[in-house]
Structure 1
Amino acid sequence: MYAAGDYIILEKDGIWQVSELETDTKSGEVLRYILKSPKEPDNTKNIKADSKMLLRKVISKDDLTDILSRIPYIRTIQAPNNKIREELYETAMAAYDELEWIRVIKTAYLRKEEGKQMPFEEKYSRQAKDYFHLEVSVVMDIPFDQVEDYIASAIADDLW
């Protein structure tokens, strides 16, 4: 059950904020959530309360701070070939987990630096960055376009 103001993660649709609850007038049971996009406030959607698309709330500020401090130590995805690597990226993205998003971002970045990045890696990296950066933005209450600098600063602070 979510409350108005909660940020939630939707399967295949990223992060949304609960703006309203539609309830049954007799029982008080929540029937639908009215959601708005944190990036585009005019973009809204209605989701049934029992929808399988509703995955979870975004993580807490403390948990996110812990994850940010662990970024330098998170392992990349290792695979013997591109077909398996793509499957591992897909599995990582389907977990809707911050650590998995970071693994995808780091792996794609390093492979790009080595000149080995495949087109599918750019696609997964963009999606992982969008999800993770938006979560950092809403949890830490910073503008989306400043998230990358915020993460870089958080990592640099931890390494010194």
Structure 2
Amino acid sequence: MFSIGSLIVYSGTGVCRVEAVGPPPFDPGSKVEYYTLIPLQSTGTIYVPVDTKVFMRPILSREAAQELIRRIPEIQQAQLEHLDYRMLAQRYRSFLDSHSCEDLVQLIKTAYTKSTANTRSGKKPSKVDQDFQKRAEFLLHDELSAALDIPFDEVGDYITRQVEQMKQTG
């Protein structure tokens, strides 16, 4: 059970703060306890039963987030050649559904590489690649922003600086 104030990854929404645990305001007499979740990067409130089967986990620790960034150059892109759009979308969705930051990095690298290759060969980047890359970047940056306590819109530059610094120090 998560406590009030905890930061958690909630399904495909991203990082949410647990604002309350107890009966929901729409049913104050409920015997079922609910989490009241506030997404960090969007508006609204989510009410979810404490015993839900929907994916929830604590965000990465600061140390785990820094270790993930350190490992980004080592994370290999997936080999997804010769897949039609439907199969590619299904495979990308499986990366998102794992809720693993490493899988998000792998998806981002794969989609970016494919889009860059298409652009270089004069083709338009695939909408599937672009959409899934954008979603994976949002989810990854959302979690790293919370774990490292840095503004969401500075995460990309932070990652770039850290990776460059590691290259320079060998």
* Superposed pair shares fold, TM > 0.5: yes
| Cα RMSD for the two superposed structures | 1.8
- State the percentage of identical aligned residues: 24
Alignment of structure 1 residues 22-101 onto 2, 5 Å: 22=22, 31-40=33-42, 42-83=43-84, 84-101=87-104
SS of equivalent to 1:114: helix
Mark the runs of 5 or more structure 2 residues left unpaired by the alignment.
24-30, 120-124
Aligned residue among 137, 142, 147 for 1:129: 137
- What residue number does 1:11 align with? 11
SS of equivalent to 1:36: strand
Higher Rg? 2
Q: Deviations over 1:17-73 (max 9, x none)?
A: 1111116xxxxx981111111124x52111110111242111111111111001011
SS of equivalent to 1:82: coil
2:152 pairs with 1:150:
no
Q: Deviations over 1:82-134 (max 9, x none)?
A: 33433321211110100000011111111121126421111111110110000
Mark the runs of 5 or more structure 1 residues left unpaired by the alignment.
24-28
